[in-house]
Amino acid sequence: MSELALSDPRSAAAAGAATVRVSIPAIAWRNLWRNRRRTWLMVAGIGFAGFLVVAINSIQVGTFTVMIDNTARFFAGHAQVQHPEFLDEPRVEHTVDDAAARLQALERLPQVTGAAPRAQSFALVAAAASRADPDAEPPAVGALVVGVDPQREFAAIRHAASSGRYLEARDEAYLGAVLAQNLGVGTGDEVVVVGNAEGGVAAMSVTVVGTFSTGQAEFDRSQMHVRLDAFQEAFALGDAVHGIAVTLADPAAAIDVAASLGDESSVGVPWQQLMPEVHQMAELKYQSSYMIYALLLVLVTFSIVNAFIMTTFERTPEFGMLKALGMRPGAIMAMLALEALWMALLGLAATLAASGLLLGTLANTGIPLTADMAGIMSQYLLPDRLYPVFGYRTAVEFGVAALLATQAAALIPALRLRRLKVVDALRMAE
């Protein structure tokens, strides 16, 4: 034993040339391999837990990123500029003025990839009385009538035509297929809209040029698009709109970008507020998964505490020897802490390797869904294959948590070393 002087670097220098300099980190590394089976089991334990955390989170990130983006592009946009009270009370008089100037300003912003002005109101919609039978009263249906700029409109609804085409000329209408069926109208028919404008009745007559079928019952049953200029005239809005929906280059930055879009008479509203059910669903899933992550981490920590209890128990004579040779308890504890560190880093490397393998495979092929599941997914605007996206944040959080937990796990049994009596410890070797 005398060749191997174990000491921390400061006293090693003082001890002179007779000592072989071996750093504590290196010794800690070698100690790990004295009981290979145990080390591998612990590394596998950390790796497995980490792999589960990363896999669960990556599938969620992959799902919700697509879902949020698709839902936003479907109609609402990543953010909207609105009257400050419009979100809570979507009333016809809560408008944003000077729409044309604002639109141009928005389109100049580098973060904004698209901007669509819209005016909207609930109104009574009915087929115009037929000439053949003027007495037959056609059914009237309540619908959300949206005035749009066909050149600028990005809503995916416009690409979901089940018959006809999207809006071009003034006084045209494009409406949900179910709504059209309920009204008893088709392409070429005339439709009358009656609504409440500020201080009077708003009325317009438009010709159906297309119907859409999105599979989203709410839209197909109740939405109708008309040209913005026709809507503004009928509802006496002038140059005002109810919102300018924008798509962003980076949807994740929606809150910050939206905050910068408002001024004294309008506010920028991010998608989190425009589509609260989508935002909450994602948050609920993310947050409830943390219960599972925490449980996994606790179980792994228990295992590691146990491993270090066994290690310190088996090596008590050795620690007694080290102490007898002059190694301070602090240095022994530091050695154990380093062993825990190496173990955790190996475990995290295993995590990365396993999840890299999984994600690398699935990133190309995707996770195919059963027909039933795909039905649900399409309701949430998801494709029939899921592509996981590596969840950096959760992976880093798990890594840090695992490092701290293993340090704590090594510390608990190591604290006993301070009370270690050299003679007793050495006697245990017999």
Partner 1 sequence: MPIKLLFQLSWRNLWRHRRRNGIMLSAIAVAVAGVVLLNSLLRGMQVDMQNTVIDNLNGHVKVLQPGYRDDPGIGRGFAVADGWEAELDPLEVVGWAERVRVPAVIMSERETRGVQLVGIDPAQEDISFLSGVDIVGEGLSGPDDRRVIVGAALAEQLETEVGRRLVLVTQGADGRNREAGYRIAGIYRASVAGLEKAFVFTGAATLQGMLDTLVVTEVSVRLTDDLHGPSMMERLKNTVFSELDVLSWRQLEPQAALMVDFADQAVFIYFLVVMGALVFGLVNTLVTAVMERVRELGMLRALGMKPRSVVAQVVVESSLIMTCGILLGLALALGVFSLVADGMDLSAFDESLASFGLRPVFVPVLAVGDVVLVAVMSLVLGLVASFYPARRAVKLKPLDALRR
Q: Applying CB under 8 A, does 310 fall inside the site for partner 1? A: yes
Q: Using CB under 8 A, pick the residue from 113, 187, 306, 407 that binds partner 1.
A: 306
Q: Using CB under 8 A, pick the residue from 6, 59, 245, 305 that binds partner 1.
A: 305
Q: Could you count the other beta carbons within 10 Å of the beta carbon of residue 422?
A: 14
Q: Applying CB under 8 A, does 279 fall inside the site for partner 1? A: yes
Q: Using CB under 8 A, pick the residue from 163, 207, 213, 303 that binds partner 1.
A: 303
Which of these segments, 24-32, 155-163, 303-311, 386-394, binds partner 1 (CB under 8 A)?
303-311
Q: Applying CB under 8 A, does 168 fall inside the site for partner 1? A: no
Which of these segments, 14-22, 223-231, 305-313, 323-331, binds partner 1 (CB under 8 A)?
305-313
Q: What is the rounded distance in angstroms from the CA atom of residue 281 to the CA atom of residue 206?
A: 38
**What's the min distance (Å) between Cβ of 392 and partner 1?**
22
Please count the CA atoms within 13 angstroms of the CA of 299 that sit on its side-chain side.
12
Note the residue count of the chain: 430
Q: Using CB under 8 A, pick the residue from 21, 283, 404, 408 that binds partner 1.
A: 283
Terminal C-alpha separation, the chain: 18
Q: Using CB under 8 A, pick the residue from 181, 205, 260, 361 that binds partner 1.
A: 181
Q: Applying CB under 8 A, does 300 fall inside the site for partner 1? A: yes
Q: Applying CB under 8 A, does 143 fall inside the site for partner 1? A: yes
**Residue listed under structure tokens 């245990």:** 428
Instruction: Calculate the alpha carbon distances from 129 to 82, 140, 142, 393 in Å.
Output: 36, 11, 17, 60
> Tokens at residue 151, please?
């050149």
**What's the min distance (Å) between Cβ of 116 and partner 1?**
24
Q: Applying CB under 8 A, does 52 fall inside the site for partner 1? A: yes
Q: Applying CB under 8 A, does 222 fall inside the site for partner 1? A: yes
Q: What is the rounded distance in angstroms from the CA atom of residue 409 to the CA atom of residue 299?
A: 11
Q: Which residues, at least 6 apart from 2, have a Cβ–Cβ distance to it below 8 Å?
A: none
Instruction: Calculate the alpha carbon distances from 319 to 53, 309, 421 in Å.
Output: 37, 13, 10
Contact assessment for residue 342 and residue 28, using Cβ atoms and an 8 Å cutoff: yes
Q: Applying CB under 8 A, does 48 fall inside the site for partner 1? A: yes
Per-residue string for binding with partner 1, 335-374, x by CB under 8 A? -------------------------------------xx-
Is the CB of 205 or the CB of 280 nearer to partner 1? Answer: 280
Q: Applying CB under 8 A, does 273 fall inside the site for partner 1? A: no
Which of these segments, 100-108, 156-164, 281-289, 360-368, binds partner 1 (CB under 8 A)?
281-289
Q: Applying CB under 8 A, does 77 fall inside the site for partner 1? A: no
Which of these segments, 13-21, 33-41, 240-248, 249-257, binds partner 1 (CB under 8 A)?
33-41
Q: Applying CB under 8 A, does 215 fall inside the site for partner 1? A: no
Is the CB of 142 or the CB of 368 nearer to partner 1? Answer: 142
Is the CB of 112 or the CB of 417 nearer to partner 1? Answer: 417
Instruction: Calculate the alpha carbon distances from 194 to 176, 197, 242, 261 in Å.
Output: 18, 9, 18, 33
Q: Applying CB under 8 A, does 37 fall inside the site for partner 1? A: yes
Please count the CA atoms within 13 angstroms of the CA of 316 that sit on its side-chain side.
21
Q: What is the rounded distance in angstroms from the CA atom of residue 66 to the CA atom of residue 116?
A: 21
> Tokens at residue 221, please?
């049953």
Compute the CA torsion angle 314, 319, 322, 328 (nearest 10 deg): 160
Please count the CA atoms within 13 angstroms of the CA of 230 that sit on its side-chain side.
23
Q: In DSSP terms, which residues pair with 386 in a beta bridge? A: 367
Instruction: Work out the angle at residue 233's Cα, subtended by the Cα atoms of residues 270 and 141, and round it to the nearest 5 degrees.
Output: 75
Binding residues for partner 1 (CB under 8 A): 37-38, 41-42, 44-45, 48-49, 52, 122-124, 136-143, 181-182, 195-196, 222, 276-281, 283-284, 288, 291-292, 295-296, 298-300, 302-307, 309-310, 313-314, 372-373, 375-376, 379
